[in-house]
Structure formats: C-alpha cells, structure tokens
C-alpha cells in the first residue's frame, strides 16, 4: 500500500529548497498553500469530479464554474514507485507517477480524462478502465491537416459530452465561452508574470509559481493571486543575474516535485531563463479574443498544441524558432526523461536549428531517481563553463561571473 | 585521408558483406532444421534474392513498388492502384546498427533497421519503392514517419487508438480515402470498383490458402518446421500476392501428401510453443530457431509478421466502391490485435483460441527492446496464461547476436519445464 508520509516528505523537501530561493513575500504564501493542499489535503479529501492525467486538454472543457479539475501531472518520485509492479521496466516516470497516484486509492468516483499523447497514455487508459474506473480518452490526430481538424472537433465534442454526462449538467456554448475567457484571462496574467518575474525571481521559483496553476481549486482566485504577486514583483528589487549564462529548458516537461533538473541548472551557475515544454507553452499560449471569434472553438487548442503526439511537431518548432529570435539565449538544456522516446526523436531537428543559430545544446537524460545527480552536476557544470567561455569571448572579461 | 565518397563506398561494401552473411547464415540454419517441403523452396528463394543476392522483388516491370511499414496498410488498396506493396519491416542486424546513428538509442530495433536501409541504399526492394506508407501506430513508428521522409517520400497513415465504435472505423476509412489519390498519382492508375474488387479477391485468395495451411500447421506431430513456416510468411512481404498464393497452394498440396504419408518433422510429445509479441522479421529469426534447435516445436505465432498479417479476410457485404472501402477499414481495425489500441483485450481471446486450436503447451512472449506497447500487455497475458495453467516466459531481445547464448539457456530451461510438467501430468493420470 502506498505510504503517504514518503510523499509528504518529498514535497516538504522540495518546498524547503524552493523557499530559500524565493523572496519572502506574503503573496508567495498562497501558491505554497495551493501546492500543499493539492498534493496532501486535496488528495486525502478525494472529492474531485474530474481528474485529468497530464495537462494536454482544452481547459474550458474541464473548468466547471471556475472550479479546476484535479490535475495529475506525474512529477512525484514516490508515487512513481507505487506503480512499479504493474508497469514495464522502461515506462517513463511521468506515466509511472500518474498511475501510482491513481492506484493509491484516488479518483474512485471521478471521471478520469486522459489525453492520448503517447503509447504509455493509451495503455494507462486501459489499465485504469480494466480496474473499473471511469475513463475517457482524448485522441490527437497525429498529422495536423484539414481532415484531422474535423476528427479533432469530434474528439472535442466527445470529451465535452463525457464531462457533461458525468456532471449531469449540459456544457452549453455560453458556459464554455465563459470558461474560455477565464482561461484566457489567466494566460494573459501568466504572460505578464513571466515578463515581470524574469528580473525578480529565479527560474525554478517561476516554474513553481506557474506549475501551481495545476494545483489551484479556483482559477479566478489563482489569477487574482498571481496578479497580486506580479504587482509586488514589479515594485520589488531586481536580482543581479545578468552575468549568468541564460539557458532554455526544452524537451520533457518538468513537473513538481521533480525539480532535480532546474535545481541543478541553477546550482551550476546558469540562469534558467525559459522553460519550453508543452505544458508550459500551453500556459503561455495567449490567443487573442479576435482569433477565438474567427476559429472554431476547438481548433485553437489543436493548432497550437506542442505536445509530442504528432508525426512532426511543427508547432513546437515554430514556437522555439520565434522564442530564439525574441529572447537572447546562450544555451539549451534538452531534457529527456527515460522512456519518453518522442523527445529524443524531436531532438535531431532542434539540433540543426541550434547549430544554425550557433547555440550550444546539451542533452540531459534522467529519471526521477537521485543516483545520477552527481554525474549530471558535473556535466552541467562543464556545460556552464562552455557557455561562460563563449560569453567571455563575446562580451569581454568584465561581464562574466566568476 | 580518404574522400567521403570513398568512405561511403567502403562502408557500403562492408555493410553488404555483413548483412548478406547474417541473412545467409539464418537462412541456412532454417533450412537445416528439418526436411523442407519442395514447395517451400520458392519462398526461401525470395528471401535469398532480397537479402543475399540483393535483387529487387519479383514483379511485372511496369508495376511500381509501394513500401509499407506494418500490417495496417491495406494491401488490397495498393494492388487496386496497380502497384505492389512491399512490407519494409526488417530484421537486419546490420541495417539496425546503421540506423542506430540516426534514430534515438532507446527506439525499437525494427525502426532502426528501416532507417538503416533507407540511409545505406543497398537493398533494391527498399530503394525501388517510390513511396512509403507509414501507419502511425506506436510512438516509434509515429516519429519514424517524420524522420524517414528524409530518405523516402513518406505518407503517414493515421490509425485511430480506439476501434470499438463505428465512428472510430470511420476515421480510418477517411484515411484510406485520402490515400487513394496519393496512390493513383504515384502509379498513374485509377482505383476503380473493379480494381478494388480484384485486389480484395487476390488477397482473399492468399488468406484462404493461408487458412488451409494453418490447418496443417496445427497437426500433431508437426508436418513442417515452425521457423520455416515463419520464413514462408515473411516472404509474403516481398512477393506479388498472386504468386505467393499459387506457391502456397502447392505447399498445401505437399502438406496433404506429407500427412497421408505420415512424414512428420517432430515427435508427438515434443513441447509445442506459441510465440507472441513484437514482430519477428527476417533475418531476425533467432527465437524460433532457438526454440526448434532446443527441441521444441514452434507451433503457432501471434505476431504481425506471421499469422496475424493474413488472419482475417475482408468481408464485403455491400459490393459498391464505398461498401468495399468500409469493409477494408473494418478489417484493418476491428479484428486487429496490435497493442497500439487502447483496449486490446481481443488479443488475449485470440491467443486463448490459438492455444486450444494448436495444442499449445507454453508461450514465449517476445519483446523487442524499446517495444513498450507489447511490454505493457505482458502482465495481462501472464494472468490469463496462469488461469489456463500454461507456462509463459518474457524474452527480451535486440537486433544482435550477443544475447543468443543467454536466450538459448532460457529457452532450453523453458522447454525442460514444459516437458517436466507434461511428465508429471502423465504420471498423475497413470
């Protein structure tokens, strides 16, 4: 049987480390509590109507009257061990963690929504169904074309109907539009936060605040608190980080509490400048109301989706190309979680892009265990040296942090 | 320093030498297992031509080859467009080691072998395909479709992850309709109701011969070695369906004769083993070979390069063009037991059925390294086999010969276990 105390300890350890890197603002408290409630109290209460495994779902479908679903992103090392006996050895830790979490006795009466982005998500859906849980899957046609768009709309409608049936209330167009606007407002807020927090918060801290989105109970409250924090940061002191080499974290998503990689990046003297996995990009993917009016409600999500569910992940490629044009990035850490083969396939194309732009890229493969941490530290430190040397060459000795 | 072209030339030479040597050695071992029926020889010749003599597939000169990457591509449709489907899923160890440089380390070896042949351009059967239809099934095949287009004009074929509802089959139907103009453009021939019906008939005929053959395969004691049978089925990938069916008919005649003459290749009490799991593509036939070399009978297989590929015929109820297309879409999704589908409980029913029909005493669950979808289903299979009191082992392997001795020991022990179990059962009955 799963031991919650290990889970609590894992979360407490990460929060303690995070607190040291965050400014002591009372506005941060809300986000801390949000995460604690989600992983500990919320889990124990076990009263969510809708559970989503993964993040890749149009949020308006699961945001019911401002109430967020229970998101299981799969970042816990402890819960990943709970599924050890059921899953094949080579399963990725995110799927392990997600399944472990559910099988520890969670979500018995909930509707579990599973976006099918990989083989593991398909098989997870079956395992849960076979155990008598109520599961609905959402398929992403792997080639984005006009025909796929129609199929995607069907998938969207099926998901909407499944949610409505489970909640026993219709999800009207108006209700969906209202939720969509709420999500939009939150995303606008997130963009503002990202701009302001760059000079005031560390990369891991920013990642944590963003990640707490998936722990919130009520979206409007979370948005309001983010607004308060952004205002506070706007007025606050700026950090002295300009001398550090700025890295972009790409590849497999990093989910709380597995902050091993971001912690290591910062400990190696690098600035975690931007995180660009599909979860984070979807949170920052701001779509104007104009576009929303012009397109079919379901299309926006599919068009912009950067998950690895596609034969060619052009959306991600274009987003990264744009990001590299807009932001000054010194290096890229390409994070591959063991078993997430899709990201490894996508690396080749990105390597060509980075080579063209003369940006060094560092492939970092790991899982949720800590055995490889010293090895990764050494490699990251060496990468940091390389980036600093390059900065030295570019800007002169005085701008380089020693 | 050598010029790049020279290096490339030398690499190609080395590649050809190594890959043909491996293929020849496996073919020789398969032939040597037991007295091979004369009618099986043409199938072995085909494998020899493709993998050792490095010649193109045997087909009319004006017929184009369309490469396919798994059993989800309807061969009927390709024949209807006037082309020949060539299944490019390969088991070449040498191509795998080349593909390893272009495909991520943890990807499955089959995908690497495909990429390896694409890069080396030494296999006419691969190189002469003007188009590659790549079904988007598992993660590796999905991403391969995005990578292999650098060496071959590729069309991804989307496969729905669910298959219960008619709406899911409809998704695949639309994909097949989307494929038609692409094939027509490639071959310059139109897919008509008549050509489609012909295509369905041709493949149906091959399936009929196959079903007849399977009756002989079920016979105890065995009439032909299982590894040789798998090679015959592998040859289907490189033969025009009419020719394959014709040779299969001859083989069936010979099997009939063998049965009458009681010309068996095994003893009655040899352990009968079913192999299921990841595809066993020529020349990677080390597992069936090991089973038979260690005294077992490779009595049945539930893999996509074997019986599954030719299992269910297309059943046309409505003979209109759309009716035939619907029948195709239905045949290639509904009875398919590929683990890429969310709910694949059908596969367990199918294996249970095969165990009963083929008098199976043990199951070897083959997992190619990186083939996660099959690995996921192992636990369910283990439970089902436990209930049937059928021993099962999971055998993980790769495209190289380094693990052969380890596999040999495990398979030998497994066969011993089945023998002991049978001995105990007989003893108890007495």
> In terms of Cα–Cα distance, which of B262, B178, B318, B231 is closest to B47?
B231
CA B100 to the chain's CA centroid: 22
CA A290 to the chain's CA centroid: 26
Question: Which pLDDT value is given to residue A43?
Answer: 66
Q: Tell me: pLDDT of A1 over 50.
A: no
For the stretch A380-391, pLDDT in tens is 999 999 999 988
Cβ within 8 Å, pair B372-A339: yes
> Taking a C-beta distance cutoff of 8 angstroms, is the pair A209, A197 a contact?
yes
Q: Tell me: pLDDT of B70 over 80.
A: yes
Contacts of B66 (CB under 8 A, 6+ apart): B78, B81, B83, B84, B85, B86, B129, B130, B131, B132, B133, B183, B186
Alpha carbon dihedral B413, B362, B403, B25, in 10-degree steps, equals: 110
Residue B5 lies in a domain: no
* Partners of residue A347 in chain B, C-beta under 8 Å: 104
Residue A275 lies in a domain: yes
Q: Where are the alpha helices (DSSP H) in A201-248?
A: 203-211, 219-235
* Partners of residue B144 in chain A, C-beta under 8 Å: 345
Q: Tell me: pLDDT of B159 over 50.
A: yes
Q: How far apart are CA B325 and CA B55, in angstroms?
A: 34
* Partners of residue B133 in chain A, C-beta under 8 Å: none
The 3-state DSSP class for residue B282 equals: coil
Where does the pLDDT of residue A2 fall: very low under 50, low under 70, confident under 90, or very high at 90 and above? low
**Segment B316-330 mean pLDDT:** 96
Residue % of chain B over a pLDDT of 70: 98
Report the chain A residue with the minimal C-alpha distance to residue B172.
A151
For an interface test with B, the pick among A140, A143, A157 (most B C-beta atoms closer than 10 Å) comes out as A143
Question: Which pLDDT value is given to residue A235?
Answer: 86
> Taking a C-beta distance cutoff of 8 angstroms, is the pair A333, A249 a contact?
yes
Q: The tokens of B260 are what?
A: 């009458």
Burial profile A186-217: b = 16 or more Cβ within 10 angstroms, e = fewer: bbebbeebbebbbebbbbbbbbbbbbbbbbbe
For the stretch A247-270, pLDDT in tens is 999 999 999 999 999 999 999 999
Question: Which pLDDT value is given to residue A187?
Answer: 92
Where does the pLDDT of residue A297 fall: very low under 50, low under 70, confident under 90, or very high at 90 and above? confident
Shortest CA gap A378–chain B (Å): 22
**Segment A268-296 mean pLDDT:** 79
Cβ within 8 Å, pair A311-B146: yes
- Partner B contacted by A139 (CB < 8 A): yes
Residue A219 lies in a domain: no
Whether omega before B326 lies within 30 degrees of 0, making that bond cis, reads no
Domain CATH code at residue A321 = 3.40.50.11900
Report the chain A residue with the minimal C-alpha distance to residue B375.
A88
Cβ within 8 Å, pair B136-A143: yes
In sequence order, what DSSP letters do the residues of B110-177 get, joined into one string?
HHHHHHHHHHH---HHHHTEEEEEEEE-SHHHHHHHHHGGGTS-EEEEE--S--SSHHHHHHHHHHHH
Residue B270 lies in a domain: yes
Cβ within 8 Å, pair A348-B376: no
Beta strands in A242-356 (DSSP E): 245-251, 270-276, 331-337
Residue A235 lies in a domain: no
Which DSSP category does A240 fall into?
-
Residue B6 lies in a domain: no
Where does the pLDDT of residue A3 fall: very low under 50, low under 70, confident under 90, or very high at 90 and above? low
Residue A355 lies in a domain: yes
Question: Which pLDDT value is given to residue A284?
Answer: 81
Question: Which pLDDT value is given to residue B314?
Answer: 93
For an interface test with B, the pick among A123, A128, A349 (most B C-beta atoms closer than 10 Å) comes out as A123
* Partners of residue B380 in chain A, C-beta under 8 Å: 130
> In terms of Cα–Cα distance, which of B157, B135, B35 is closest to B89?
B135
Q: How far apart are CA A208 and CA A225, in angstroms?
A: 14
Where does the pLDDT of residue A397 fall: very low under 50, low under 70, confident under 90, or very high at 90 and above? low
- The CA-atom distances, in angstroms, between A253 and each of A246, A326, B359 are 19, 22, 48
> Taking a C-beta distance cutoff of 8 angstroms, is the pair A49, A166 a contact?
yes
Query: Whole domain around residue B123: which residue ranges?
Result: 11-429
- Partner B contacted by A143 (CB < 8 A): yes
Bridge partners, residue B154, by sequence = B132
Question: Which pLDDT value is given to residue A391?
Answer: 82
Cβ within 8 Å, pair A126-B343: yes
Q: Which of B162, B174, B372 sits opposite A90 (nearest CB)?
A: B372
* Partners of residue A116 in chain B, C-beta under 8 Å: 161, 342
Q: Tell me: pLDDT of A393 over 80.
A: no
- Partner B contacted by A304 (CB < 8 A): no
How far is the first Cα of chain A from the last one, in angstroms, to the nearest whole number? 49
> In terms of Cα–Cα distance, which of B401, B375, B292 is closest to B108?
B375
> What pTM did the predictor assign?
0.93
Query: Whole domain around residue A336: which residue ranges?
Result: 242-402
Residue B119 lies in a domain: yes
Q: Which of A86, A90, A345 sits opposite B104 (nearest CB)?
A: A345
Number of domains chain A is built from: 1
Q: Tell me: pLDDT of A289 over 70.
A: no
Number of domains chain B is built from: 1
Residue A402 lies in a domain: yes
For the stretch B172-208, pLDDT in tens is 999 999 999 999 999 999 999 999 999 999 999 999 9
Burial of B393 (0-12, 13-18, 19+ CB in 10 A): middle
Burial profile B13-26: b = 16 or more Cβ within 10 angstroms, e = fewer: eebbeebbebbeeb
* Partners of residue A157 in chain B, C-beta under 8 Å: none
In sequence order, what DSSP letters do the residues of A59-77 get, joined into one string?
HHHH-BTTB--EEE----H
**Segment B360-385 mean pLDDT:** 96
For an interface test with A, the pick among B167, B177, B342 (most A C-beta atoms closer than 10 Å) comes out as B342
Strands A245-251 and A270-276: parallel
Alpha carbon dihedral A164, A169, A170, A171, in 10-degree steps, equals: -60
Residue A22 lies in a domain: no
For the stretch A28-46, pLDDT in tens is 999 999 999 998 876 666 6
Q: The tokens of A211 are what?
A: 């990640």
Cβ within 8 Å, pair B142-A88: no
Q: How far apart are CA A182 and CA A161, in angstroms?
A: 21
Shortest CA gap B58–chain A (Å): 32
Contacts of A383 (CB under 8 A, 6+ apart): A268, A270, A331, A333, A360, A362
Residue B251 lies in a domain: yes
How far is the first Cα of chain B from the last one, in angstroms, to the nearest whole number? 76
Cβ within 8 Å, pair A142-B162: no
**Segment B312-331 mean pLDDT:** 95
Q: Tell me: pLDDT of B417 over 70.
A: yes
Q: How far apart are CA B265 and CA A230, in angstroms?
A: 79
Q: How far apart are CA B383 and CA B177, in angstroms?
A: 40
> In terms of Cα–Cα distance, which of A58, A255, A252 is closest to A171?
A58
Shortest CA gap B142–chain A (Å): 5
> Taking a C-beta distance cutoff of 8 angstroms, is the pair A251, A99 a contact?
no
Cβ within 8 Å, pair B139-A342: yes
For the stretch A203-246, pLDDT in tens is 999 999 999 999 999 999 999 999 999 999 998 766 655 688 99
Report the chain A residue with the minimal C-alpha distance to residue B102.
A348
* Partners of residue A346 in chain B, C-beta under 8 Å: 143
For the stretch B249-289, pLDDT in tens is 999 999 999 999 999 999 999 999 999 999 999 999 999 99
Question: Which pLDDT value is given to residue B1?
Answer: 46
For an interface test with A, the pick among B149, B339, B372 (most A C-beta atoms closer than 10 Å) comes out as B372
Cβ within 8 Å, pair A122-B340: yes
Strands B154-158 and B129-136: parallel
Residue A384 lies in a domain: yes
For the stretch B85-114, pLDDT in tens is 999 999 999 999 999 999 999 999 999 999
Predicted complex ipTM: 0.92
The 3-state DSSP class for residue A119 equals: helix
**Segment A49-63 mean pLDDT:** 93
Q: Tell me: pLDDT of B63 over 60.
A: yes
Question: Which pLDDT value is given to residue A23?
Answer: 86
Question: Which pLDDT value is given to residue A396?
Answer: 61
Burial of A178 (0-12, 13-18, 19+ CB in 10 A): middle
Chain A and chain B share a number of CB contacts under 8 A equal to 103
Residue % of chain A over a pLDDT of 90: 72
For the stretch A100-159, pLDDT in tens is 999 887 778 899 999 999 999 999 999 999 999 999 999 999 999 999 999 999 999 999
CB atoms within 10 A of CB A160: 19
Residue B97 lies in a domain: yes
Count Cα atoms within 13 angstroms, Cβ side, for B70. Answer: 29
- Partner B contacted by A341 (CB < 8 A): yes
* Partners of residue A151 in chain B, C-beta under 8 Å: 171, 174
């Amino acid at each position: 049987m799963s031991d919650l105390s290990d889970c609590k300890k894992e979360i407490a350890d990460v929060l303690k480390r995070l607190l040291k890197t965050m400014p002591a603002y009372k506005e941060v408290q809300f986000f801390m509590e949000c995460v604690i409630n989600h992983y500990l109290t919320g889990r124990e209460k076990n009263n969510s109507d809708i559970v989503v495994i993964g993040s890749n779902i149009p949020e308006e479908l699961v945001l019911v009257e401002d109430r967020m679903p229970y998101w299981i992103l799969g970042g816990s090392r402890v819960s990943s061990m709970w599924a050890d006996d059921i899953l094949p050895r080579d399963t990725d830790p995110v799927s392990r963690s997600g399944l472990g979490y559910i099988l520890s006795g969670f979500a018995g009466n909930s509707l579990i929504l599973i976006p099918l982005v990989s083989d593991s998500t398909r098989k997870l859906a079956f395992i849960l169904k076979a155990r008598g849980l109520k599961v609905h899957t959402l398929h992403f046609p792997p080639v984005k074309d006009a025909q796929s768009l129609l199929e995607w709309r069907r998938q969207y409608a099926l998901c909407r109907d499944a949610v409505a049936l489970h909640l026993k209330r219709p999800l009207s167009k108006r209700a969906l539009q209202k939720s969509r606007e709420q999500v939009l407002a939150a995303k606008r807020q997130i963009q503002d936060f990202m701009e302001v927090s760059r000079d005031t918060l560390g990369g891991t801290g920013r990642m944590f605040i963003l990640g707490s989105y998936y722990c919130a109970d009520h979206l409007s409250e979370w948005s309001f608190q983010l607004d308060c924090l952004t205002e506070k940061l706007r007025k606050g002191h700026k950090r002295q980080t300009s001398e550090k080499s700025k890295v972009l974290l790409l590849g497999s998503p990093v989910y709380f509490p597995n902050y091993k990689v971001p912690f290591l990046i910062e400990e190696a003297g690098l600035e975690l400048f931007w995180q660009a996995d599909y979860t984070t990009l979807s949170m920052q993917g701001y779509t104007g109301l104009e576009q929303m009016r012009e397109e079919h409600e379901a299309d926006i999500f599919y068009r912009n989706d950067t998950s690895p569910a596609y034969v060619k992940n052009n959306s991600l490629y274009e987003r990264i190309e744009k990001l590299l044009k807009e932001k000054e990035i010194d290096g890229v850490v390409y994070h591959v979680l063991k078993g997430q083969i899709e990201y490894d396939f996508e690396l080749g194309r990105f390597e060509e892009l980075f080579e063209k732009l003369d940006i060094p890229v560092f492939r970092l493969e790991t899982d949720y265990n800590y055995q490889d941490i010293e090895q990764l530290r050494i490699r990251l430190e060496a990468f940091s040296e390389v980036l600093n040397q390059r900065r030295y060459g570019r800007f002169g000795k005085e701008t380089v942090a020693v | 320093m050598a010029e790049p072209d020279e290096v490339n030339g030398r690499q190609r030479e080395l590649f050809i030498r190594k890959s043909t040597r491996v293929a020849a050695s496996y073919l020789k071992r398969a032939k040597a297992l037991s007295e091979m029926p004369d009618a099986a020889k043409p199938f072995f010749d085909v494998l020899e031509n493709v993998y050792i003599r490095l010649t193109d597939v045997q087909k009319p000169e004006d017929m184009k080859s369309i490469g396919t990457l798994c059993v989800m591509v309807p061969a009927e449709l390709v024949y209807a467009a006037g082309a020949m489907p060539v299944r490019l899923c390969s088991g070449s160890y040498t191509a795998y080691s080349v593909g390893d440089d272009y495909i991520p380390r943890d990807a499955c070896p089959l995908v690497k072998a495909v990429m390896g042949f694409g890069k080396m351009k030494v296999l006419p059967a691969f190189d002469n395909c003007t188009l590659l239809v790549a079904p988007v099934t598992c993660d590796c095949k999905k991403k391969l479709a995005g990578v292999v287009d650098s060496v071959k004009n590729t069309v991804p074929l989307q496969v729905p992850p669910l298959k219960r509802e008619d709406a899911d089959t409809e998704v695949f139907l639309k994909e097949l309709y989307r494929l038609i103009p692409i094939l027509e453009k490639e071959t310059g021939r139109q897919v008509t109701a008549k050509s489609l019906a012909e295509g369905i008939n041709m493949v149906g005929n091959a399936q009929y011969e196959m079903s007849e053959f399977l009756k002989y395969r079920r016979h105890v004691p065995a009439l032909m070695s299982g590894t040789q049978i798998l090679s015959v089925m592998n040859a289907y990938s490189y033969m025009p369906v009419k020719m394959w069916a014709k040779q299969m008919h001859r083989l069936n005649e010979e099997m009939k004769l063998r049965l009458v003459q009681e010309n068996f290749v095994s003893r009655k009490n040899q352990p009968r083993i079913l192999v299921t799991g990841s595809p066993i593509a020529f020349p990677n036939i080390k597992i069936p070979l090991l089973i038979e070399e260690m005294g077992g009978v490779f009595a049945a297989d539930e893999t996509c390069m074997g019986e599954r590929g030719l299992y269910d015929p297309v059943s046309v109820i409505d003979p209109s063009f759309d009716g035939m297309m619907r029948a195709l879409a239905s045949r290639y999704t509904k009875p398919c037991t590929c683990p890429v589908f969310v709910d694949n409980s059908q596969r367990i029913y199918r294996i249970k059925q095969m165990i009963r029909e083929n008098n199976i005493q043990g199951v070897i669950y083959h997992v190619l390294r990186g083939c996660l979808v099959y690995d996921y289903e192992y636990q369910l299979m283990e439970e089902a086999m436990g209930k049937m009191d059928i021993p099962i082992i999971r055998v993980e392997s790769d495209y190289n010969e380094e693990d052969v001795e380890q596999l040999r020991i495990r398979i030998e022990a497994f066969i011993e276990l089945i023998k002991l179990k049978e001995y105990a059962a007989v003893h108890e009955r007495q």
